[in-house]
């Protein structure tokens, strides 16, 4: 663990999240809408799903963070993504990019490249997507991760360095880096990847935590630590991925900032 | 409680709902789709999510009620909303409006104003949205309610009087008014607001109950009473907002009309 | 039960599904997105929800099966459906059609007729929809099934014969036919129809199983058997349709291929 990020900082960030209940505008894919909103609600944040170009920028002026996820993209949505991301950049509030399956199609690569010009505070993805972004070549195969997160630390650091964004690689262990400082968050439950769109919901929570944290790096670490800790607790009672989902929401909702002292950062 | 609405009327309405299983067309936001459909199914109604202008009017001719929710609006959807609402008005079947976050953006205010010309049978919203509508000035801050429902009874009555619609303000206690008669429905569970889109699902259920009730006022009271009662029962076993959701669906499904005798109206 | 399809074949297909984790592209309705993705994940397949014309064909070239569901259709989505289905047909990978509420509106009938020109490997629907398709006349009333599945075996066989597709009629018992061979799959739980979009999720699972099975007929039987078996197991602990859903996902995830020996085919 870097000396720059301690568990005390994480506990403090969760305190702020619970007190400030930041408004997080999400322009996210159809699969993730329900879970992302419920994760934000359970974590004491306030979700607003507003995507159309007629109001995306206006909402971004009210929001404390913006989350953009390309999972089920189409041109009208991409327009709204640009509107919201540019307002966020202009206002200096964090915006978070989730480049779902960026390696799979040209449309995703082009859209992601165009969105990167607004300089996201954080990019959250799985290992395959990070590799695809970092190498700018297709990694294919939908949204599955075919690489281990800790195996791509160097690519994550290179991507962070190239973009100026904090990069989060989620996996069995989560890697969070701003290229200089790299933190590994352990924990969670091995069945979490079977909850569809939980990665997208993690991106939304990164938005919530980044809205209140002193730095995007700390916000990203805090969000991943919250999920790792809640997932681990939820896993004790869950029978499988189906019951893990409501149990995870319960655990997030019941989570006290001090519970984050159980999380191991390295 | 008004003398006009008794628990006997509510019990009778739930009987009708279970017997008639009305077809409820929902043009609703992406976050709420899943939960609204499941709530209607659990309550013995029949949901149909049909929004495109090529079929919205045709479906509204088959439906027993229409539900319009502006949570994630965009122009093609707004066109379908107008089509379905105007057919409902023409046919004399109830249609219900949910003006999600109407105070937040100009697009929402304009869309809501345009939809109100079709004269909804019921408007269901939270206290902030009712205040925004009643005062025709922005209340901001996404879909959260920053006012207590019972604190806005006068605004709800004024809105009902101005629009000719029954107005439902959901909250810890639900306010239902047609401007002359005002009913307060107590009950539920304090964690219900943490279930994303449960308000939208309540709107859908109001559509189902209004389809079979002698008056929209009674339909709205019955729907809110069903949720209050089911939420309270579900809350006894739920560990948090995550497990409250499936438990609520179970409780709605197991609800007998006579169970509504436990609800306190005032 | 036909001599052509035995429980051994089903067990073998589930083995293949678990080993090959096929990528299943779903262009499906908004209500079903979440459940379809979670069912595929729980069954060890890999979902990809990609619908826009800018990438639907490209993704279909990576996929092992394509699933098209018209539940909440609109023109841009229909364009993507044609793109993906034609690539699937061209590549010889199975594509599965779910003609939701095809009897209800002209737009659904026209869209379904146009999609049928790409010759789906499997059509999965409820009895009302099969009757509507088979008789090419409206059956109305949203997505509810107003006919018993086993009462429409002849229409299913006629439809299979006319289209060259395997036809699946889901219901208390599921009928699967290629017109020559007809298999009835018993099992499940009577509360399964109350889980919104479970039929759509079944269609997605048929896509996953058809991707790995020697024939679409066997794939369809295996998928319906998996759900019947998992639903039955889940039903033992579920209190209602709300808790049945996570329990069903748990049961699918825990299902071993050998568990399918419990399923009765006839």
pLDDT tens readout for residues C36-93: 999 999 999 999 999 999 999 999 999 999 999 999 999 999 999 999 999 999 999 9
Answer yes or no: are the C-beta atoms of C209 and C216 closer than 8 Å.
no
With an 8 Å Cβ cutoff, is A225 touching chain B? no
Neighbour tally for C169: CB within 10 Å: 31
Instruction: Say yes or no for a CB contact (<8 Å) between A195 and C247.
Output: no
Give chain C's mean pLDDT.
94
CA-based nearest residue to C165, from C207, C211, C216: C216
Give chain B's mean pLDDT.
94
Instruction: Say yes or no for a CB contact (<8 Å) between A41 and B141.
Output: no
Q: What is the DSSP string of B184-239?
A: EE----TTGGGSTTHHHHHHHHHHHHHHHSSSHHHHHHHHHHHHHHHHHHHHHH-S
pLDDT at B175 over 60: yes
Distance CA B59, CA B83 (A): 10
**Residue A18: is it exposed, middle or buried by C-beta count within 10 angstroms (0-12/13-18/19+)?**
middle
pLDDT at A23 over 80: yes
Q: How far is CA C238 from the centre of its chain?
A: 24
B221, B223, B229, B235: CA torsion to nearest 10: -130
Distance CA B243, CA B227 (A): 16
Structure tokens at C206: 């048929």
Instruction: Say yes or no for a CB contact (<8 Å) between C241 and B253.
Output: yes
With an 8 Å Cβ cutoff, is C49 touching chain B? no
Q: Which residues of B touch C194 (CB under 8 A)?
A: 38, 41-42, 253
pLDDT in tens, C122-142: 999 999 999 999 876 333 344
A17, A19, A25, A28: CA torsion to nearest 10: 40
pLDDT at C144 over 70: no
* CATH code 3.40.1190.20 for C7-262: yes
Residue percentage of chain C with pLDDT more than 70:
95
Who contacts B249 (Cβ-Cβ below 8 Å, separation ≥6)? B38, B39, B42, C240, C241, C242, C243
Answer yes or no: are the C-beta atoms of B28 and B38 closer than 8 Å.
no
Q: Where are the alpha helices (DSSP H) in C21-92?
A: 33-42, 56-62, 75-91
pLDDT at C188 over 70: yes
Q: Of B105, B196, B242, which is closest to A37 when you measure between CB atoms?
A: B196
With an 8 Å Cβ cutoff, is A242 touching chain C? yes
Show me where the domains of chain C are located: 7-262
pLDDT at B206 over 60: yes
Residue bearing tokens 């301690």: A6
Q: What is chain C's alpha carbon radius of gyration, rounded to the nearest angstrom?
A: 16
Answer yes or no: are the C-beta atoms of C70 and C108 closer than 8 Å.
yes
Q: To probe the interface with B, which of C105, C129, C132, C145 has the most B CB atoms within 10 Å?
A: C105
Nearest-Cα residue of chain C relative to residue A29? C49
CB pairs under 8 A between A and C: 103
CA-based nearest residue to A222, from A12, A1, A80, A2: A12
The per-residue pLDDT for C142 is 42
Q: Find the mean pLDDT for residues C196-206.
A: 98
The per-residue pLDDT for C136 is 65
The per-residue pLDDT for C4 is 79
Q: Find the mean pLDDT for residues C140-160.
A: 77
Q: Find the mean pLDDT for residues B220-230.
A: 98
Distance CA C242, CA B233 (A): 14
Write a three-state SS string for A160-184: HHHHCCEEEEECCCEEEECCCCEEE
Instruction: Say yes or no for a CB contact (<8 Å) between B141 and A62.
Output: yes
Q: Which residues of B touch A38 (CB under 8 A)?
A: 194-196, 241-242
Q: Which residues of C touch B30 (CB under 8 A)?
A: 30
How many Å from the N-terminal Cα to the C-terminal Cα in chain A?
3
* Strand bridging mode C65-69 / C122-126: unpaired
The per-residue pLDDT for A135 is 80
Side-chain-side CA neighbours of residue A190 (13 Å): 1
pLDDT at C146 over 80: no
pLDDT at A2 over 90: no
Q: How far is CA B175 from the centre of its chain?
A: 12
C177: β partners = C167, C182
Instruction: Say yes or no for a CB contact (<8 Å) between C42 and A142.
Output: no
**ipTM value for the complex:** 0.94
The per-residue pLDDT for A210 is 98
Answer yes or no: are the C-beta atoms of B10 and B225 closer than 8 Å.
yes
pLDDT in tens, B32-58: 999 999 999 999 999 999 999 999 999
Structure tokens at A181: 């400082």
The per-residue pLDDT for C140 is 35
CA-based nearest residue to B118, from B136, B92, B149: B92
Instruction: Say yes or no for a CB contact (<8 Å) between C241 and B33.
Output: no
Q: Of A23, A33, A254, which is closest to B142 when you measure between CB atoms?
A: A23
pLDDT at C183 over 80: yes
Instruction: Say yes or no for a CB contact (<8 Å) between B241 and A254.
Output: no
Q: Helix B153-163 crosses helix B127-135 at what angle (to 10 degrees)?
A: 50
Distance CA C15, CA C36 (A): 20
Q: Backbone phi, then psi, for B71, in 5-degree steps? A: -55, -45
The per-residue pLDDT for C3 is 54
Is B197 part of any known ligand binding site?
A: yes
Query: Please, which pLDDT band fits residue B88 given cuts at 50, 70 and 90?
Result: very high
The per-residue pLDDT for C147 is 74
* CATH code 3.40.1190.20 for A7-258: yes
Q: How far is CA C246 from the centre of its chain?
A: 19
CA-based nearest residue to A203, from A135, A132, A143: A143
Distance from CA of A161 to the nearest CA of B (A): 35
Structure tokens at B127: 């206290």
Query: Please, which pLDDT band fits residue A147 given cuts at 50, 70 and 90?
Result: confident
Q: Where are the alpha helices (DSSP H) in A97-192?
A: 106-116, 127-135, 153-163
Is A170 part of any known ligand binding site?
A: yes
Q: Which residues of A touch C23 (CB under 8 A)?
A: 141-142
Q: To probe the interface with C, which of B246, B251, B254, B256 has the most C CB atoms within 10 Å?
A: B246
Instruction: Say yes or no for a CB contact (<8 Å) between B243 and A247.
Output: yes
Structure tokens at A49: 């799903």
Q: Which residues of C touch A30 (CB under 8 A)?
A: 30, 33, 49
Query: Please, which pLDDT band fits residue A198 given cuts at 50, 70 and 90?
Result: very high
Q: Of B33, B55, B249, which is closest to C242 when you measure between CB atoms?
A: B249
Q: Which residues of A touch B75 (CB under 8 A)?
A: 52, 54
pLDDT at B200 over 70: yes
With an 8 Å Cβ cutoff, is B256 touching chain C? no
**Residue B76: is it exposed, middle or buried by C-beta count within 10 angstroms (0-12/13-18/19+)?**
middle
Q: Which residues of B touch A246 (CB under 8 A)?
A: 242-243, 245-246
Residue percentage of chain B with pLDDT more than 90:
92
The per-residue pLDDT for A146 is 65
B219-to-A126, B157, B188, B199 alpha-carbon distances in Å = 48, 17, 18, 16
Distance CA C228, CA C4 (A): 20
Q: Backbone phi, then psi, for B240, in 5-degree steps? A: 180, -170
Instruction: Say yes or no for a CB contact (<8 Å) between A142 and C253.
Output: no
Q: Find the mean pLDDT for residues A121-126.
A: 98
**Residue C92: is it exposed, middle or buried by C-beta count within 10 angstroms (0-12/13-18/19+)?**
exposed
Answer yes or no: are the C-beta atoms of C87 and C120 closer than 8 Å.
no
Distance CA C173, CA C171 (A): 5
Q: Which residues of B touch C142 (CB under 8 A)?
A: 23, 46-48, 62
Distance CA C17, CA A3 (A): 46
Query: Please, which pLDDT band fits residue B4 given cuts at 50, 70 and 90?
Result: confident
């Amino acid at each position: 663990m870097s000396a720059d990020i301690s568990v005390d900082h994480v506990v403090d960030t969760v305190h702020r999240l619970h007190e400030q209940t930041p408004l997080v505008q999400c322009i996210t894919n159809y699969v993730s809408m329900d879970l992302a909103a419920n994760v934000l609600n359970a974590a004491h944040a306030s979700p607003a799903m507003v995507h159309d170009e007629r109001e995306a920028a206006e909402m971004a002026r009210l929001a404390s963070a913006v989350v953009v996820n390309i999972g089920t993209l189409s041109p009208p949505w991409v327009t709204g993504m640009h509107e919201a991301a540019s307002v966020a950049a202009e206002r200096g509030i964090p915006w978070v990019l989730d480049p779902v399956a960026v390696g799979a199609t040209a449309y995703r690569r082009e859209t992601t490249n165009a969105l990167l010009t607004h300089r996201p505070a954080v990019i959250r993805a799985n290992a395959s997507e990070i590799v695809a972004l970092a190498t700018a070549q297709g990694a294919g195969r939908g949204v599955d991760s075919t690489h281990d997160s800790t195996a791509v630390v160097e690519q994550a650091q290179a991507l962070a360095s190239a973009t100026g964004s904090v990069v989060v690689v989620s996996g069995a262990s989560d890697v969070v880096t701003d290229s200089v400082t790299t933190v590994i968050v352990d924990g969670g439950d091995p069945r979490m990847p079977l909850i569809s769109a939980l990665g997208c919901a993690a991106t939304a929570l990164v938005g919530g935590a980044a809205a209140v944290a002193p730095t995007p790096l700390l916000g990203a670490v805090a969000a991943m630590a919250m999920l790792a800790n809640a997932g681990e607790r939820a896993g004790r009672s869950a029978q499988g991925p189906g019951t893990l989902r409501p149990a995870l929401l319960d655990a997030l909702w019941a989570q006290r900032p001090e519970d984050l002292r159980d999380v191991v950062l390295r």
